[in-house]
Structure 1
């Protein structure tokens, strides 16, 4: 196994499958539980645009739930719904106690809706149910995992964090094409990563100063 460790290489722009393979190579053929938790969440988020089962993103894109009167829409003879406008939504990136989440919220006039609303003529969706439509994706315990990486993580841990950022960016870009995203805010994965990186460097500098004061050698890398 040690020989396998030496041969394992991570591509410059790895897929999730390649990151998982690399993690196994440097971890005696296993995926640690914490890593597996995060990787599974990233995989679920990555497949949200491809899988056929119902999810919050598909609910947003279901034109049968769009308010056709507000969106200048109509149904063709073939039963297809055509709209000249797209429903407005606000996207919010947030870290909760559960992990990273991407939230969507609709508008009624210029008011952001954050509760169950049905058949309101000012809202651009016929029904808005935050229980099934608000949280588009969740990456479980990503905030804790980022902190773990800066304490004792490896290249695979960093790669899965960066890949999570790319997946979220891809989903946001997709939504910006399919819907009218008028607001995008919150704390991104990249922002939290950079904040933790800054704190980690500050902590390292403090340790080095303490070592110098004690006359001990420091890591010059």
Structure 2
């Protein structure tokens, strides 16, 4: 491997741009397709709080779609919407066959809703459309990428996984500030990572025992 690769270092608490740069340095100047797919979806989710384009998170926090009667709200003379309360939502973190996803569910009375509803006096949003408001973020194939990391990944792969966790946490924290998040559950990226890590160690231990049975020497750091 060229000497320039050996000099590449990953800074503490790196940005996604820095992680991508490091990955290129240790991978002959290229981003592997699998890594690039995951990194791109993480980047897209990271930008939803800053970019101007429409997305599910911005639809949730748009007070123009809030039920002002239920939330004690009104429109000021300046056209500003002011509410005594914020709409309630439940957040669920999940690993599906598509990857890691963060879902939102509104409340009608004290029950979460997962279907299209419009102009319901018990709903704290004027319109709830699961197709455009439920799935807040998705990190494509992150579950497979985490598994890949424990098989033959590198330092950049781990940094990308940790960064994905930070992005998800940042968005959840933002929603907790902007809305009334009543419930937060599911499987976090950290949970899934630690589960895979445990399975990886168990597999390694099984291999070591097999080697002992075959009379081989175990060499662990």
Give the TM-score category using the shorter length.
over 0.9
Q: Equivalents in 2 of 1:4, 1:184: separation in Å? A: 45
In the alignment, does 2:92 pair up with 1:92? yes
Compute the TM-score of the two structures, normalised by the length of structure 1.
0.99
Partner of 1:55: 55
Instruction: State the Cα deviation string for residues 151-187 of structure 1 (Å, max 9, x = none).
Output: 0000000000000000000000000000000000000
Q: Equivalents in 2 of 1:207, 1:35: separation in Å? A: 28
Partner of 2:43: 43
Report the count of equivalent residues. 221
Q: Equivalents in 1 of 2:4, 2:92: separation in Å? A: 42
Q: Equivalents in 2 of 1:12, 1:208: separation in Å? A: 33
Partner of 1:126: 126
Gaps of at least 5 residues in structure 1 are none
Partner of 1:73: 73
Tell me the C-alpha RMSD between the 2 structures: 0.7
Instruction: State the Cα deviation string for residues 69-91 of structure 1 (Å, max 9, x = none).
Output: 00000001111111110000000
Partner of 2:140: 140
Gaps of at least 5 residues in structure 2 are none
Partner of 1:4: 4
How far the C-alpha of 1:40 sits from its partner, in A, is 0.3
Compute the TM-score of the two structures, normalised by the length of structure 2.
0.99
Q: Equivalents in 2 of 1:220, 1:56: separation in Å? A: 48
Q: Equivalents in 2 of 1:220, 1:146: separation in Å? A: 23
Following TM superposition, the consecutive aligned residue runs of length 4 or more in structure 1 with deviations greater than 3 angstroms are none
Within-5 A mapping of 1:196-207: 196-207=196-207
